Chains A and B, each alone.
Chain A
Amino acid sequence: MDVQYINPFLEGTLHVVKTMAFIDARPGKPFLKRDNSAKGDISGIIGIAGSARGSFALSFSEGCILRIVSNMLGEEITQVNSDIEDAVGELTNMVSGAARQRLDVMGISLSAAIPTVVRGKDHCIVHTLGGPSIIIPFETDNGNFVADVCMRKNDI
């Protein structure tokens, strides 16, 4: 896992959550994750390919994603439903896009697949490269979420 991929995903996540949900998330210190466990109640994961490859996931606590989606839609949502699942997929897609724009400037050109969403207690994030991945934790006033990045430059 190359650390040059961390900042684009961190900045992309902050930008998307701020623009879509008007929330200033507070990033914590990134750390290495060696297992498949998701660090949240609902996750979106998207495959990435190009001059590097791997996958990226966003995992949200329930309280956090309910606030984010309520703010996005301008209506109070009090339980995880199909709107929430849909929004997690779209947020994952948008953060991936925002990060890929930043990586493109660094000469790393990437494309992404369509995201999938997983939910439930103790669900897993299965990265295309198997792992390990870097977790970037974020705090909000309504709970935490993480960006889970597993990327590697292609072998030449």
Chain B
Amino acid sequence: MDKAGKVLVVDDFSTMRKVIRNLLKQLGYENIVEAEDGVAALEVLRSQKIDFVISDWNMPNMSGLELLKQVRADGSLSKTPFLMVTAETLKDNVVEAVKAGVDNYIVKPFTADVLSEKIGQIEKKRG
């Protein structure tokens, strides 16, 4: 992803949004917007061009999985790269996210290096 691209960070915990924002800045990404759940994220996605979504899984109102499904079902958003953040790697959850079209997932807690690696894997896969 181009470092000038706009990243949407979705998490119901404001501290986690700040942590991810700081990690992205360490990696050179400056254009970052935030949303506190899936509902707010969809509003952002439908009102401005977003180049990459990093979303928590477990959130009130609308989970990361439901957000992913809505993004993939929306013709104008469906190609948006989507990285899911989870607190665990339960096999069933991973399978469900892959079926829904997630590009990659990352397990909390993570470092800037791991985040960079996951973003790189998505870029490589998408060519």
Chain A residues within 8 Å of B, Cβ to Cβ: 15-16, 19-20, 69, 72-74, 82-83, 86-87, 89-90, 93-94, 96-98, 100-101, 104, 109, 111-112, 114
Which residue of chain A lies nearest to B60 when distances are taken between CB atoms in the complex?
Answer: A114
Contacts of B108 in A (CB 8 A): 93-94, 97
Closest-by-CB residue of A relative to B111 is A19
Q: Given the interface contacts A73-B22, A97-B88, does A90 sit within 8 Å of B15 by beta carbon? A: yes
Residues of chain B whose beta carbon lies under 8 Å from any beta carbon of chain A: 13-16, 18-19, 22, 58, 60, 86-90, 107-111
Q: Please tell me if the beta carbons of B22 and A96 are within 8 angstroms of each other in the complex.
A: no
Write out the residue numbers on chain B whose beta carbons fall within 8 Å of the beta carbon of A69. 15
Quote the shortest CB–CB distance from B91 to chain A (angstroms): 8
Sorted nearest first, the 5 A-B pairs with minimum C-beta distance are: A97-B87, A19-B109, A87-B15, A97-B88, A90-B13
Interface SS majority for chain A: helix
- Chain B residues, CB < 8 A from A72: 15, 19
Report how far A111 CA is from B92 CA in the complex, Å: 11
Contact check, B58 vs A114: say whether CB atoms are below 8 A apart: yes
Measured between beta carbons, the chain B residues less than 8 angstroms from A83 are 14-15, 18
In the assembled complex, the Cα of A90 lies from the Cα of B13 at a distance in Å of: 7
Q: Which residues of A contact B110 (CB under 8 A)?
A: 19
A–B pairs, 23, beta carbons within 8 Å: A19-B109, A19-B111, A20-B19, A72-B19, A73-B18, A73-B22, A83-B14, A83-B15, A83-B18, A86-B14, A87-B15, A89-B13, A93-B58, A94-B87, A97-B88, A100-B87, A100-B88, A101-B89, A101-B107, A104-B88, A104-B90, A109-B90, A112-B87
